[in-house]
Amino acid sequence: MERQSVNQSSSDNDASMTEWQVERIQRHSVLRDAIYYHVVWKPTWESEDKLQHMLPDIIAWNTCHRYPESIRRPSNQFDPTLEHWSGKVIGRKEVDGLAYYKIQWEATMEPEANLENAKGLVRKYWDTFYKA
């Protein structure tokens, strides 16, 4: 499956910039004359410091997979962009003593303008839509 990158940031600070990769577009809707796409995002690896909003999910995943609890308290790496996203923990790895979790993000409805860097997938979606 082709994947496209979409950059989103809640501020102009490069430290909070996260690159989101679109896995696929499932469907669309029209709301007030604007097109919105139901976007499935590619999973990403995030350090535990950036996932404080998912603390209960991380503890449950660690318990289920018999990892010792290693959640650290928020640090200067906290990413305010991620706190509004929810997802499911699907993996864990350690790099330099810090736990990273693979997160399968929940699908979102995105306005067409947010998919400016995923025009290939938008075009592919419409090609498939009109063939059906």
Cα–Cα distance measured from residue 6 to residue 40, given in angstroms and rounded to the nearest whole number: 12
Q: What is the pLDDT of residue 86?
A: 86
Give the predicted TM-score (pTM) of the model. Answer: 0.72
Q: Find the helix or strand (DSSP H, E) in which 20 lies.
A: strand 18-31
Cα–Cα distance measured from residue 117 to residue 82, given in angstroms and rounded to the nearest whole number: 20
pLDDT (tens, 9 = 90+) of the chain, 132 residues, equals 344 445 444 344 444 455 779 999 999 999 999 999 999 999 999 988 888 888 889 989 899 998 876 555 545 555 666 667 789 999 999 999 889 999 999 999 999 999 998 999 999 999 999 887
